[in-house]
A and B are shown apart, each in its own frame.
Chain A
Amino acid sequence: KAGVTQTPRYLIKTRGQQVTLSCSPISGHRSVSWYQQTPGQGLQFLFEYFSETQRNKGNFPGRFSGRQFSNSRSEMNVSTLELGDSALYLCASSHGVPGNTIYFGEGSWLTVV
């Protein structure tokens, strides 16, 4: 059974640009969540999508957005990149019901220069 797949694994962007990250959840999972991990703030929840609808949202500015497609694949977009957006972006998938296991991907390493 394939795990959560994230692409690209590594990318470098310039301040002011935008970036799109992609996540393919485990087959059958309808919930996809995104997290940002930095040395200073740790792992922080960005948002969760379930059946193409945003169901939960963290405390991040509107520059961070996401969407989910009918096949449960998800993308997140960060516009007008800032140096502080440099981080590991993690995608997690699950069946989306309380008590189920939440699996993480390997992450996308974003460096903003």
Chain B
Amino acid sequence: QKEVEQDPGPLSVPEGAIVSLNCTYSNSAFQYFMWYRQYSRKGPELLMYTYSSGNKEDGRFTAQVDKSSKYISLFIRDSQPSDSATYLCAMSAGNQGAQKLVFGQGTRLTINP
């Protein structure tokens, strides 16, 4: 079983819809939780960064972390065609292991105009 599980999709929704992306994990040592967006043939771009449990909002994006359930989510409001990309959850443990990111498989998202 993988340390981080993420539904690879693909996920296709109409423009303006609310998108929900999720990951589960098994390693209780994870403390830092990230969401990256990756366009085709490009490197991952950081969207959201959360430490421990809680919510974080940035514009149309909201990240949630529930450490008790080992479950993280990313919500995209008012989705746009430019949001079409692969979304990767990533997480790491503390101290010197903080730079070692463990990624989910990535969810391919398409927003239809």
Contact = CB atoms under 8 A, between A and B. Distances in A.
Interface of A: 4, 31, 33, 35, 42-45, 48, 50, 55-56, 58, 90, 92, 94, 96-107, 109
B40 to A, nearest CB: 11
Given A55-B96, A101-B49, A106 B43 contact: yes
A96 to B, nearest CB: 6
B104 A42 contact: yes
Contacts of B34: 102
B94 interface: yes
Contacts, number: 63
Contacts of B94: 98
B18 interface: no
B57 interface: no
Helix, strand, loop or mixed for chain B's interface? mixed
Interface string B32-71: 1010100001111110010100000000000000000000
B4 to A, nearest CB: 9
B43 A105 contact: yes
Nearest to B34: A102
A98 B97 CA distance: 8
Contacts of B17: none
A75 B9 CA distance: 34
A42 B32 CA distance: 19
